[in-house]
Amino acid sequence: MKDHSDEGFDSLFEKKKRSGAKLFAILFFGIIIVSTSVYTYLSVGVVRDRMLVAKSQVEGAAPVDPSLIDLMKEKAWVESRLKMAAGDSVGLSIDLEQHTIQLELKGVVVMNSKIRDFSTSGFFKRMDGNVYFAMFGSPLTIQKFESSIEKNPFKVVIAPKNEAEAEAAVTKKDSIPDENVFWTVKLDRDFELNIQGIDSVAESQSKYKLGKGFEFKRNLKNIVNSFEHIVKFKKPTYTPEILISIPENEAKAILRALPRNASVTIRI
């Protein structure tokens, strides 16, 4: 009779290991699916809450006549730009209807750029007339800037000791770095405006692959944020956003020209 007791014991151990892996898989996927489902439910809920808050702010206002909404938007747009012109500093006007983004100074358009591409959150697509006017009826104010390049680069230079040192400093030339230009501003009516500089779609995609571009960093931030919210059992946050793509040099010029608390006028 052959003794199979050792073999039997090993196979039992193998089985245990296999069932352990199975258990891990079931548990892991269970946790992932449950937490993702709860997170999804809450994520949709916050959009609804945000809409309801916006609606409650305009409660009591007379309903807007749908046949006049375009004219009313036009009036709000011009009125808002006039209000912005009363300020002394550079303001930004964004017309998503005409696909233009402009820098304005005292009512004079000092720079005009054609928008290459844009997208807006569903929140803006579902706004009714009164919410629209509460949101865009007057200039918005920038509250926070975040950018991939320095907003106002300033170099500190120590004066040369003599003529020879001064000449040496003149011959030394700085190289121009390859910059990815994208910036985000938080506006006072609780939404974000994202501007990305793209000179071509191919360039934008290659930056995504290299992990340098705006979309890549934004997606990574979203994943990390979502994960953090799930781990900490926190309700997700929802900030509607507008994403605009314009040529890189213009994105840079606008970023550098805008004061920290600049006014912004938007027409959607």
State the minimum distance, in angstroms, from the CB of residue 219 to another protein: 6
Ramachandran area for residue 166 (φ above 0: left; ψ -120 to 50: alpha; else beta): alpha
Asked if 38 and 231 touch (Cβ cutoff 8 Å), the reply is no
State the minimum distance, in angstroms, from the CB of residue 30 to another protein: 10
State the minimum distance, in angstroms, from the CB of residue 187 to another protein: 19
State the minimum distance, in angstroms, from the CB of residue 44 to another protein: 5
State the minimum distance, in angstroms, from the CB of residue 170 to another protein: 9
- C-alpha 195/C-alpha 247 separation (Å) is 10
Non-local (6+) Cβ contacts of 179 within 8 A are 148, 149, 248, 252
| Cα 213–chain centre separation | 12
Non-local (6+) Cβ contacts of 103 within 8 A are 90, 91, 92, 109, 110, 111, 253, 254, 257, 258
- C-alpha 266/C-alpha 12 separation (Å) is 69
The residue among 155 and 209 lying less far from another protein, judged by its C-beta, is: 155
The residue among 47 and 134 lying less far from another protein, judged by its C-beta, is: 47
The residue among 12 and 44 lying less far from another protein, judged by its C-beta, is: 44
- C-alpha 149/C-alpha 259 separation (Å) is 15
The length of the chain, given as a count of residues: 268
- C-alpha 224/C-alpha 44 separation (Å) is 18
The residue among 106 and 144 lying less far from another protein, judged by its C-beta, is: 106
The residue among 28 and 200 lying less far from another protein, judged by its C-beta, is: 28
State the minimum distance, in angstroms, from the CB of residue 1 to another protein: 31
The residue among 143 and 237 lying less far from another protein, judged by its C-beta, is: 237
